[in-house]
Amino acid sequence: MDRFLIQGGSRLHGDVVISGAKNSALPLLCASLLTAQPLTLRNLPPLHDVRTMLKLLAGTGVRVSEDPTDEAATLQANAVDRLEAPYEMVKTMRASILVLGPMLARFGEARVSLPGGCAIGQRPVDQHIRGLQAMGAEIHLEHGDIVAKASRLRGATIATDMVTVTGTENLLMAATLAEGTTTLLNAACEPEVVDLARCLRAMGAQIEGEGTDRIVVHGVEALGGAEHPIMADRIEAGTFLAAVLATRGDVFLRRACAEDMGATVQKLAQAGLEMEIARDGIRARAQQRPQPVSLRTAPYPAFATDMQAQLMAVNAIADGVSTVSETIFENRFMHVQELRRMGASIDIDGHTAVVKGVERLTGARVMATDLRASAGLVIAAMTADGETEIDRIYHLDRGYDRMEDKLRALGAQVRRVTSGATQ
Ligand code: UD1
């Protein structure tokens, strides 16, 4: 298992290129199942989760040809013969559920292992299932698998009980090939949903209202191929911005798009990050100790739960007290214990953490518990006195493209140590 060794104290400076968005890439890869024609995705980030999704799709019979030099892949689902997402895939990546809607819509059946609990909470998929049932699918559970059938899905009006990102994406993809009109109410407004809708439209889908909480889809008989550039990863960009603030650095984030970042940019500005928004990216710098910023996670455009751990790390060294409330996932404070090991002063009261900023953190041995928690620990470590060892870095590899290389190029002292290797 790989670890990071990080020597704190370096200020980040230079240029970094933000990669394609993981949370956009995963549904877009699944959209290939909706057509027999080739779908080419550009700006595809070379991440562990993307690998897993490509493997899952290849296992169903989708032909995948990759062009790594160009960070692109072409997928063609003209010989799909296994309408399945097996347990081994779903257990490592919950987003595997995103094949359910497209498979059912185009082939009339699907078998997807039911995702279990995960580190950051229960994360059920009941809304995906109920939405597809409202479109006429027959769904039952068999040996832990969701087994779904429908001769042809029918348009329906579906209001989900809560805003769900992958739920919206699954139903949106299913609706493109349904008979008649589907209206999704309480739909997720996340930029990744908009990116998916754009690609589906390029494939011939008829969609209105993406980016709002009401999406209307007029089903068509068939979709065609397309070529689509994946949007830049707003969470990777936000993570680098938080790191610039925490280390008082000066960095240009190429391809970062402030418009997609919702409340993250405002919160970082309140905390003291100076930002100049350019056409091709964001220049960010900070000179002072961060100011504390209180925040509450909520669906887009409010503050993203995927940025909570990183801002917690910034607040841990801020000049004052802040509160951080998590409203999306019930168990997403696991980084708090690890930050405490580094000297952070954080108390948890239910869904709220009260953070009393300290002047310096100190290096320690800590453990990454999930993808974004790992990013929070990396930020904390870069500000700390001495060396921090972060274990279980595989979480980070699921969603960050070559993070240590990018940080090292900006002047951070980060080393990856592979188990068994001498340091
Ligand atoms: C997506 C993102 C993830 C992000 C999250 C919230 C991807 C691949 N992942 O996850 O990075 O942290 O959005 O912004 O895009 N819920 C139910 N029933 C359902 C669906 C969701 O109860 O059927 C609940 C969840 O438990 C959670 C909330 O709704 O409390 C929001 O979850 P959701 O938006 O679905 O998260 P994901 O799509 O899994």
Protein residue closest via CA to atom 20 of ligand 1: 125
Pairing of strands 157-159, 181-185: parallel
Find out whether the beta carbon of 164 lies less than 6 Å from any atom of ligand 1: yes
State how far the Cα of 176 lies from the Cα of 155, in Å rounded to an integer: 9
Residue 60 confidence (pLDDT): 97
Q: Ligand 1 center to residue 92 CA distance, Å? A: 16
pTM across the whole model: 0.97
Mean pLDDT of all residues in the chain? 95
Residue 120 confidence (pLDDT): 65
Q: How far is CA 388 from each of CA 173, 319, 379, 381, 402, rounded to the nearest angstrom?
A: 43, 22, 11, 6, 19
Q: Ligand 1 center to residue 155 CA distance, Å? A: 23
- Residues 290, 315 contacting (CB under 8 angstroms): yes
What is the enclosing helix (H) or strand (E) of 217?
strand 214-218
Find out whether the beta carbon of 189 lies less than 6 Å from any atom of ligand 1: no
Q: Ligand 1 center to residue 189 CA distance, Å? A: 13
> 165, 264, 307: which to mutate for ligand 1, most atoms within 8 A of CB?
165
State how far the Cα of 275 lies from the Cα of 282, in Å rounded to an integer: 7
Find out whether the beta carbon of 126 lies less than 6 Å from any atom of ligand 1: yes
* pLDDT band (50, 70, 90) for residue 166: very high
State how far the Cα of 411 lies from the Cα of 174, in Å rounded to an integer: 46
Residue 344 confidence (pLDDT): 98
Q: Ligand 1 center to residue 47 CA distance, Å? A: 20
Could you read off the pLDDT of 6-33 as tens digits, one per residue? 999 999 999 999 999 999 999 999 999 9
Protein residue closest via CA to atom 3 of ligand 1: 306
Cβ neighbors of 48 (< 8 A, separation 6 or more) are: 394, 397, 398, 399
The full 3-state SS of 305-323, as one line of letters, equals HHHHHHHHHHHHCCCCEEE
Find out whether the beta carbon of 332 lies less than 6 Å from any atom of ligand 1: no
> 162, 170, 172: which to mutate for ligand 1, most atoms within 8 A of CB?
162
Could you read off the pLDDT of 310-332 as tens digits, one per residue? 999 999 999 999 999 999 998 89
Q: What's the whole-number mean pLDDT along residues 168-179?
A: 98
Residue 184 confidence (pLDDT): 98
Residue 331 confidence (pLDDT): 83
- Residues 332, 374 contacting (CB under 8 angstroms): no
242 phi and psi angles, rounded to 5 deg: -60, -35
Q: How far is CA 149 from each of CA 81, 92, 108, 374, 418, rounded to the nearest angstrom?
A: 15, 25, 6, 39, 45
Of 281, 370, 422, 414, whose CA–CA distance to 9 is shortest?
414
Residue 421 confidence (pLDDT): 53
Residue 258 confidence (pLDDT): 96
State how far the Cα of 245 lies from the Cα of 403, in Å rounded to an integer: 17
Find out whether the beta carbon of 165 lies less than 6 Å from any atom of ligand 1: yes
Q: What's the whole-number mean pLDDT along residues 377-387?
A: 98
> Looking at the predicted structure, is the pLDDT value of residue 339 above 70?
yes
Residue 262 confidence (pLDDT): 87
Give the residue numbers marked as catalytic.
118
> Looking at the predicted structure, is the pLDDT value of residue 132 above 70?
yes
26 phi and psi angles, rounded to 5 deg: -65, -50
Find out whether the beta carbon of 125 lies less than 6 Å from any atom of ligand 1: yes
Burial classification of residue 26, based on how many CB atoms lie within 10 Å of its CB (0-12 exposed, 13-18 middle, 19 or more buried): buried
Residue 129, SS3 per DSSP: helix
Q: Ligand 1 center to residue 130 CA distance, Å? A: 15
Could you read off the pLDDT of 261-271 as tens digits, one per residue? 989 999 999 99
Protein residue closest via CA to atom 24 of ligand 1: 123
Find out whether the beta carbon of 21 lies less than 6 Å from any atom of ligand 1: no
Q: What's the whole-number mean pLDDT along residues 234-258?
A: 98
> Looking at the predicted structure, is the pLDDT value of residue 423 above 80?
no
Residue 422 confidence (pLDDT): 45
Q: What's the whole-number mean pLDDT along residues 383-410?
A: 95
Residue 35 confidence (pLDDT): 98
Q: How far is CA 347 from each of CA 103, 242, 333, 357, 373, rounded to the nearest angstrom?
A: 45, 21, 11, 12, 17
Q: Ligand 1 center to residue 206 CA distance, Å? A: 25
Residue 77 confidence (pLDDT): 98
Q: What's the whole-number mean pLDDT along residues 368-376?
A: 92
Instruction: Return the half-sphere exposure (C-beta side, CA atoms, 13 A cut-off) of residue 340.
Output: 12
Handedness of CA 324, 330, 334, 335 (dihedral sign): negative
Protein residue closest via CA to atom 7 of ligand 1: 23
Residue 118 confidence (pLDDT): 63
Protein residue closest via CA to atom 5 of ligand 1: 165
